[in-house]
């Protein structure tokens, strides 16, 4: 890089936080490098069916964002890559980016000839493993960069069918990992979150009972591009449920699991209650909660759902979920208003699991302080934390926060462009 | 545009589905300067042929007949200031969505090439604007959000002017000794560091602060706002490039909370009053000046109440926890009880809640306050509480956790008031004047509420959403207001606490400096960021109908006394809604115009012999409907081949003449597919889709007068993810048009 050209900002993680921080800084005039681990951008947000409280599809805003990414000459996006080192250097950060092999390159036209001949099936990570897809495929309908991806580990030994089928020279089965070093003026860490694993909640049937699912799975069941084409069906028998229970704070606000409040689960549940009600108007929906947290204008969601026929709120924490004799599920909860234990029989249980920051488990190269729960705390020179890497928050708060993070990164440089 | 090159791709199944050589003949017939067929046009080799044709001067514009304009956009992007490019979607619109080798598919492809060619012929290169741009950021409001914005803008190298109406900086937060913790371990009160923030702002050489000051007027446009302010030392004028409005919020008027005992007993106080006590001489009972033995906090005082504030004020639970912690710290002997409906401590504030709950003498119970009685010692009557159905609590002091009301002014309502007042004096008939007087009365409460005093045709302040918060796409694009270059921040924008307001100030400052820099590069801002094309108004033909000035969602256009629009180009977002509104068709973009789309409609084939093969035009929004249609094609979902799809910038840019042209050409039906509208609108330009619905409603009436069935025109709302629905909409519409029979104007 020439001495006259200012160093770029580097953003790690291309979920809604990282994309927002990238675009806001780049549209101001900074060069920005966006590094994403997955083959396509969008992170967790793109896996939701709808955003609350507007109940609009995330792909709509993401479409606009990806167009902004591809149109902006100051943005460079590196997918399939992770940051392996990030050390202080000349008042900025020297960042090492390791890229997985690009088995499919940007000559890919999305024609689909490779998928058609692929003999290997994998569990679809976009649909949280709830569907099977060919090992080579478009990651999801809204994937950007618009390019197929290959799970090379799933290839049968010696199989080169996809490469042979591709007439555009877009597949290189012998691609090798690469690495590069980027001198960045500042780094924005927007590495996001993972859902708290439901198999840590066996007392609630998590990982034990097929019809106990996580809220993130419910998003995929409701989405048109999901494993059921948008139909809410019980995993065990593929039938629509008539009684659905939502268990709030499944893991959150619980010193045995996550002591903090994950901030989005109440609203996610209210949104999902609307999904269920709209598809299955006769369904009985019971929501077990400690507090219903719908701050700000999101209160409208609570008002709206409380008026829906068939929706019941029970203040109380669910103690157990067990299999009933007839294929149903039985929840035992303390109804604190009635002051006694109640039993509720349902067909489908949704655990409103919380958010675990990826910074918690990852080997973090950023030299960041983290709190007890793994959320990033600012303080390291030239490193800014954005989105759920910093604290549990919803998409609306994340886009706000990430725009502020872009400002902080620009402030490090002393320039807006 | 002259010297058009046609570049046909045969890859991705196009070559198998279509007779591409026939399309090449069409290109020749149309007069193309060159026509090239390539097996993979998006490959570096394919792109190189197009680039070479531009560079050697063979062509001035390229018609790329390959995949959708949404695919391979990086590959087919050439310098927009020098090269015109039009895309024809042979892959998604033909090869992937219609039977290969079918006659109808070939006719469709031929039409698409003709339509694209017609549009490209009407495309001009943009002429970048060159304006002098002011870099100063004006921050209105010196609370935490405003201070954060000022600091951020200054540290990004911009001069800053802060205008605060009060006599001090820091707003209500300045009066607090402690804040809710925002850093680990999140379990103890945090000293208020606002003095550091104030110092960081005021110590900067390029920051000017005016307190006890007000905005007299803001005129002009982003990059060139002319600002007049009134201060105790007199008036000042300055130039600003962008504005951050951070005028904060005020406590809900406790006078309306008589049912919670406010006003009946002096021992019922607001949270703000308690903060004054905590900051001043200590917490005392107003009636006797003694330390209260037990303090009861009532949450949601005014909030979450359809009678008062339907929203949750988002800050009151944290405020109460802070106050409880402060009281226990100062007076461990005082008991506190918090009556809540739901305790809202999202994220790590939960740890603070847990810590406060652990303090001896601290009690929390869910419940509703039925009434508060007594004068000295008060009795709080609870219903539906966890302590029982009908419980009484004694209290020496009751603190109402009052909600927050944004300090916003409803610019559109103020304008309605002003217009109606004027009409009540000047309208021709007494009836009209009476009607205007009624409207003026209805909006009279907005008189004198102005904050920004914008010199905008559409009103002196930002438009507000329901509940009084300034409008924005508050999930994806939270700072986007409907006045370009003016960004709302903090508790003005949405209910939030001081930590969030600080971040919000940073974010709004980012948007402000971005707008200034984009103006300096002659580029549009969100959502068409980077677009260098600007609208042209051919004012000689303007009839002063004012539709454009009324309908622009972004207040771009002012009017002179006669009603002629005055373009403020740096306010423009390039949506084309004015172009759709104009009955004289005098508004055009270099790459998008009424004439260009009309030429596309004219270029479609209309079978004269009906034979149950009608012709349908689908005007679809390029933001949501086009991606949905592409997603359907990617799944090889088929739709009716009689449809000719024309992607448009926004449904609101639809000019009625396109409908008239279509019908008079014998086209049998026109369907418009755009984004959802209403309170939860998905339109990227806020009102475009809604305006299209209104305009088309009017057209349908006209059709009926012309003895044409109104069912020939349809407007549909569609979400981005409804890829299964959009082919069905097209198919169903075709079926209904068949049932209507041929357009009676066919062949005329």
pLDDT score of B376: 87
The residue in chain A having the minimum alpha-carbon distance to the alpha carbon of residue B345 is A261
**Angstrom distance (rounded) from CA B629 to CA B638:** 10
Closest CB to A109 among B11, B530, B721: B11
Closest CB to B157 among A71, A296, A414: A414
CA–CA min distance B589, chain A (Å): 19
Chain B CB contacts of A390 under 8 Å are: none
pLDDT score of B100: 98
Chain B CB contacts of A63 under 8 Å are: 623-624, 627, 720
The residue in chain B having the minimum alpha-carbon distance to the alpha carbon of residue A337 is B386
Residues 91-110 on A with a CB inside 8 Å of B are 107, 109-110
Taking residues B436-459, report their average pLDDT: 96
**Angstrom distance (rounded) from CA B177 to CA B191:** 6
Chain B CB contacts of A225 under 8 Å are: 721, 723
A132, β-bridge pairs: A123
CA–CA min distance B732, chain A (Å): 20
**Angstrom distance (rounded) from CA B6 to CA B118:** 12
Closest CB to B311 among A296, A315, A411: A296
Chain A CB contacts of B44 under 8 Å are: 107
Task: Give B656-674 pLDDT, tens digit per residue.
Answer: 999 999 999 999 999 999 9
Residues B547/B695, Cβ–Cβ less than 8 Å: no
A300 close contact with B: CB closer than 8 A = yes
Q: Which of A23, A254, A297 to probe by mutation at the B interface, max B CB count within 10 Å? A: A297
Residues 18-77 on B with a CB inside 8 Å of A are 39-40, 42-44, 67, 70-74, 77
Closest CB to B312 among A25, A61, A295: A295
Q: Does B347 contact A63 at a Cβ distance shorter than 8 Å? A: no
Q: Which of B181, B510, B511, B526 to probe by mutation at the A interface, max A CB count within 10 Å? A: B510
Q: Does A71 contact B77 at a Cβ distance shorter than 8 Å? A: yes
User: Residue holding tokens 């009324």?
Assistant: B550
A288 close contact with B: CB closer than 8 A = no
B130 close contact with A: CB closer than 8 A = no
Q: Does A400 contact B722 at a Cβ distance shorter than 8 Å? A: no
pLDDT band with cut points at 50, 70 and 90 for residue B28: very high
B206 close contact with A: CB closer than 8 A = no
Closest CB to A377 among B183, B306, B474: B183
DSSP state of B464: B
pLDDT score of A147: 96
What are the backbone angles phi and psi of residue B68, rounded to the nearest 5°?
A: -60, 150
Chain A CB contacts of B77 under 8 Å are: 71
Residues 160-189 on A with a CB inside 8 Å of B are 167-169
Size of interface A-B (CB pairs under 8 A): 255
| Mean pLDDT of each 10-residue bin along chain A, 417 residues long | 76 98 98 98 97 96 96 97 95 97 96 97 97 97 96 97 97 98 98 97 98 98 96 97 98 96 98 98 98 96 97 96 95 94 97 96 86 93 96 96 98 96
Task: Give B618-633 pLDDT, tens digit per residue.
Answer: 999 999 999 999 999 9
Residues 355-384 on A with a CB inside 8 Å of B are 371-373, 375, 377
Q: Does B720 contact A29 at a Cβ distance shorter than 8 Å? A: no
Residues 600-659 on B with a CB inside 8 Å of A are 623-624, 627, 631, 634-635
Chain A CB contacts of B157 under 8 Å are: 414-416
- For residue B610, pLDDT beyond 80: no
pLDDT score of A2: 44
Under CATH, to which class is B251-406 assigned? alpha beta
Residues in contact with A93: Cβ distance below 8 Å, sequence separation at least 6, in sequence order: A10, A86, A87, A183, A184, A185, A186, A187, A382, A383
Residues 184-213 on A with a CB inside 8 Å of B are none
Q: Does B342 contact A292 at a Cβ distance shorter than 8 Å? A: yes
B676 close contact with A: CB closer than 8 A = yes
The residue in chain B having the minimum alpha-carbon distance to the alpha carbon of residue A292 is B342
Handedness of CA B347, B349, B355, B361 (dihedral sign): negative
**Angstrom distance (rounded) from CA B729 to CA B734:** 9
Closest CB to A407 among B183, B506, B720: B506
User: Residue holding tokens 């759902």?
Assistant: A305
B366 close contact with A: CB closer than 8 A = yes
Q: Which of B96, B348, B405, B511 to probe by mutation at the A interface, max A CB count within 10 Å? A: B348
Chain A CB contacts of B155 under 8 Å are: 411, 414
Q: Report the topology of domain B606-748.
A: Rossmann fold (3.40.50)
Residues A69/A40, Cβ–Cβ less than 8 Å: no
Closest CB to B503 among A55, A111, A401: A401
Q: By C-alpha distance, which of B230, B144, B59, B93 is closest to B490? A: B144
Q: Which residue has the higher pLDDT, B467 or B262?
A: B262
Domain B1-125 has CATH 3.40.50: yes
Taking residues B266-286, report their average pLDDT: 95
Closest CB to B347 among A51, A138, A392: A392
Task: Give B331-364 pLDDT, tens digit per residue.
Answer: 999 999 999 999 999 999 999 999 999 999 999 9
pLDDT score of B748: 67
CA–CA min distance B384, chain A (Å): 8
pLDDT score of B605: 94
Chain A CB contacts of B718 under 8 Å are: none
Query: For chain A, which domains are there?
Result: 9-100+177-193+356-413 (3.50.50.60), 113-165 (no CATH), 197-353 (3.50.50.60)
Q: Count H helices, E strands: chain B?
A: 20, 33
Q: Report the topology of domain B536-581.
A: Alpha-Beta Plaits (3.30.70)
B365 close contact with A: CB closer than 8 A = no
Q: How far is C-alpha B207 from the chain's CA centre?
A: 30
B184 close contact with A: CB closer than 8 A = yes
User: Residue holding tokens 């992770």?
Assistant: A82
Residues B91/B67, Cβ–Cβ less than 8 Å: yes
Handedness of CA A179, A181, A182, A187 (dihedral sign): positive
pLDDT score of B699: 87
Task: Give B714-731 pLDDT, tens digit per residue.
Answer: 999 999 999 999 999 999
Question: In chain B, what are the domain boundaries?
Answer: 1-125, 137-248+449-520, 251-406, 536-581, 606-748
Taking residues B213-226, report their average pLDDT: 98
Task: Give B95-154 pLDDT, tens digit per residue.
Answer: 999 999 999 999 999 999 999 999 999 999 998 888 899 999 999 999 999 999 999 999
Domains B1-125 and B606-748 share a fold: yes
Q: HSE of B392 in the Cβ direction (CA atoms, 13 Å)?
A: 7
Domain B137-248+449-520 has CATH 3.50.50.60: yes
Q: Which residue has the higher pLDDT, B696 or B505?
A: B505
Residues B319/B335, Cβ–Cβ less than 8 Å: no
pLDDT score of A1: 41
Task: Give B478-491 pLDDT, tens digit per residue.
Answer: 998 899 999 999 99
Q: HSE of B732 in the Cβ direction (CA atoms, 13 Å)?
A: 9
A298 close contact with B: CB closer than 8 A = yes
Chain A CB contacts of B67 under 8 Å are: 109
CA–CA min distance A65, chain B (Å): 9
B163, β-bridge pairs: B140, B210
pLDDT score of A4: 65
- For residue B193, pLDDT beyond 80: yes
Q: Does B506 contact A408 at a Cβ distance shorter than 8 Å? A: yes
CA angle in degrees (0–180, nearest 5) for B18-B78-B33? 55
Q: Does B517 contact A60 at a Cβ distance shorter than 8 Å? A: no
ipTM of predicted assembly, 2 dp: 0.97
Token pair listed for B109: 């492809």
A251 close contact with B: CB closer than 8 A = no
Helix (H/G/I), strand (E/B), else coil: A201? coil
């Amino acid at each position: 890089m020439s001495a006259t050209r200012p160093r770029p900002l580097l953003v790690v993680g291309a979920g809604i936080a990282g994309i927002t921080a990238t675009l806001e800084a780049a549209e101001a005039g900074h060069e920005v490098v966006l590094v994403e681990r997955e083959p396509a951008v969008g992170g967790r947000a793109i896996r939701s069916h709808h955003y609350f409280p507007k109940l609009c599809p995330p792909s709509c805003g993401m479409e606009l964002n990806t167009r902004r990414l591809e149109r902006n000459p100051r943005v460079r996006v590196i997918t399939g890559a992770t940051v392996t080192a990030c050390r202080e250097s000349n008042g900025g950060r020297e960042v090492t980016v390791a890229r997985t092999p690009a088995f499919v390159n940007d000559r890919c036209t999305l024609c689909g000839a490779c998928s058609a001949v692929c003999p290997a099936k994998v569990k679809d990570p976009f649909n949280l493993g709830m569907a099977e897809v060919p090992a080579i495929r478009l990651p999801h309908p809204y994937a950007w960069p618009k390019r197929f991806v290959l799970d090379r580990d799933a290839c049968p030994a010696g199989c080169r069918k996809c490469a042979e089928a591709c007439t555009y020279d877009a597949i290189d089965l012998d691609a090798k990992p690469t690495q590069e070093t980027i001198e960045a003026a500042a780094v924005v860490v927007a590495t996001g979150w993972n859902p708290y694993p439901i198999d840590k909640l066996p007392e609630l049937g998590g990982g034990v009972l097929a019809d106990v699912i996580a809220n993130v799975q419910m998003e995929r069941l409701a989405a048109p591009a999901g494993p059921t084409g948008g139909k809410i069906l019980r995993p065990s028998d593929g039938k629509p449920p008539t009684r659905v229970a939502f268990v709030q704070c499944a893991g959150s606000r619980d010193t045995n699991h996550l002591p903090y409040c994950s901030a989005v689960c109440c609203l996610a549940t209210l949104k999902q209650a609307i999904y269920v009600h709209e598809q299955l108007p006769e369904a009985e929906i019971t929501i077990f909660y400690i507090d219903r947290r719908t701050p700000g204008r999101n209160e409208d969601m609570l008002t709206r759902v409380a008026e829906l026929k068939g929706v019941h709120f029970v203040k109380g924490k669910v103690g157990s979920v067990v299999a009933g004799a007839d294929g149903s599920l039985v929840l035992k909860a303390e109804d604190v208003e009635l002051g006694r234990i109640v039993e509720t029989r349902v067909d489908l249980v949704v655990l409103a699991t919380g958010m675990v920051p990826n910074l918690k488990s990852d080997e973090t190269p950023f030299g960041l302080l983290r709190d007890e729960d793994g959320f990033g705390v600012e303080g390291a020179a030239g490193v800014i934390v954005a989105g759920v890497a910093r604290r549990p928050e919803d998409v609306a708060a994340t886009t706000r926060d990430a725009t502020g993070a872009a400002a902080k990164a620009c402030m490090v440089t002393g320039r807006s462009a | 545009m002259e010297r058009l090159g046609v570049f046909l791709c045969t890859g991705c199944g196009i070559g198998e589905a279509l007779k591409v050589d026939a399309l090449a003949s069409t290109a020749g017939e149309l007069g193309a300067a060159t026509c090239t067929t390539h097996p993979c046009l998006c490959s570096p080799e394919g792109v190189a042929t197009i680039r070479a044709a531009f560079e050697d001067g063979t062509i001035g514009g390229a018609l790329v007949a390959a995949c959708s304009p949404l695919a391979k956009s990086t590959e087919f992007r050439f310098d927009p200031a020098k090269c015109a490019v039009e895309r024809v979607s042979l892959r998604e619109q033909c090869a992937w969505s219609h039977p290969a080798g079918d006659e109808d598919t070939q006719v469709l492809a031929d039409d698409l090439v003709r339509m694209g060619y017609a549009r490209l012929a009407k495309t001009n290169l943009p002429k970048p604007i060159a304006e002098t741009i002011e870099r100063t950021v004006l921050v209105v409001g010196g609370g935490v959000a405003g201070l954060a914005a000022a600091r951020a803008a200054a540290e990004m190298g911009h001069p800053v002017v802060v205008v605060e109406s009060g006599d001090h900086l820091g707003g209500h937060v300045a009066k607090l000794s402690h804040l809710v913790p925002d850093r680990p371990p999140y379990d103890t009160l945090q000293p208020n560091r606002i003095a550091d923030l104030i110092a960081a702002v005021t110590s900067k050489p390029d920051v000017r602060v005016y307190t006890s000051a007000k905005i007299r007027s803001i005129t002009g446009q982003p990059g060139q706002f002319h600002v007049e302010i009134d201060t105790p030392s007199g008036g000042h004028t300055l130039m600003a490039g962008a504005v951050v409005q951070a005028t904060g919020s005020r406590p809900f008027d406790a006078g309306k909370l008589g049912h919670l005992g406010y006003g009946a007993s002096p021992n019922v106080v607001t949270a703000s009053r308690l903060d004054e006590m905590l900051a001043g001489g200590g917490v005392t009972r107003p009636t006797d000046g003694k330390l209260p033995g037990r303090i009861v906090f009532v949450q949601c005082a005014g909030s979450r109440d359809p009678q008062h504030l339907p929203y949750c004020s988002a800050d009151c639970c944290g405020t109460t926890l802070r106050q409880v912690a402060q009281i226990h710290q100062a007076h461990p002997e005082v008991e506190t009880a918090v009556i809540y409906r739901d305790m809202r401590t999202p994220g790590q504030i939960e740890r603070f809640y847990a810590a406060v709950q652990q303090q001896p003498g601290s009690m929390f119970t869910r419940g509703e306050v039925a009434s508060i009685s007594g004068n000295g010692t008060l009795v709080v009557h609870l219903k539906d509480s966890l302590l029982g159905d009908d419980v009484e609590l004694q209290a020496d002091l009751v603190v109402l956790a009052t909600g927050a009301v944004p300090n916003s002014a409803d610019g559109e309502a103020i304008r309605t008031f002003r217009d109606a007042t004027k009409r009540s004096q000047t309208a021709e008939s007494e009836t009209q004047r009476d009607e205007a007087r009624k409207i003026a009365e209805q909006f009279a409460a907005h008189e004198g509420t102005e904050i920004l005093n914008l010199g905008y045709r559409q009103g002196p302040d930002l438009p507000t959403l329901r509940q009084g918060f300034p409008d924005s796409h508050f999930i994806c694009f939270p700072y986007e207001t409907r006045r370009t270059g003016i960004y709302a921040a903090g508790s003005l924008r949405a209910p939030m606490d001081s930590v969030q307001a600080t971040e919000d100030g940073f974010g709004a400052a980012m948007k402000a400096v971005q707008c200034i820099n984009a103006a300096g590069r002659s580029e549009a801002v969100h959502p068409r960021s980077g677009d260098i094309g600007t609208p042209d108004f051919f004012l000689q033909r303007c009839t002063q109908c004012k539709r454009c000035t009324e309908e622009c969602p972004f207040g771009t256009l002012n009017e002179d006394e006669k009603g002629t629009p005055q373009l403020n180009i740096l306010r423009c977002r390039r949506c084309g809604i004015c172009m759709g509104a104009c009955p004289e068709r005098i508004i055009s973009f270099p790459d998008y115009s009424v004439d260009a789309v009309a030429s596309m409609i004219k270029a479609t084939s209309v079978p004269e012999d009906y034979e149950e093969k009608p012709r349908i035009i689908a005007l679809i929004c390029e933001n949501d409907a086009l991606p949905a249609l592409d997603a359907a094609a990617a799944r090889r979902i088929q739709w009716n081949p009689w449809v000719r799809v024309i992607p448009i910038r926004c449904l609101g840019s639809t000019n009625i003449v396109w409908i008239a042209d279509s019908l008079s050409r014998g086209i049998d039906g026109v369907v418009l597919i755009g984004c959802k509208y209403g309170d939860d609108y998905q339109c990227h330009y806020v009102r475009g889709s809604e305006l299209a619905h209104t305009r088309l409603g009017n057209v349908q009436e006209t059709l009926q007068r012309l003895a044409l069935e109104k069912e020939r025109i349809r407007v549909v709302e569609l979400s981005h993810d409804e890829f299964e629905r959009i082919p069905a909409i097209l198919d169903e519409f075709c079926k209904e048009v068949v049932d209507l029979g041929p357009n009676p104007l066919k062949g005329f």
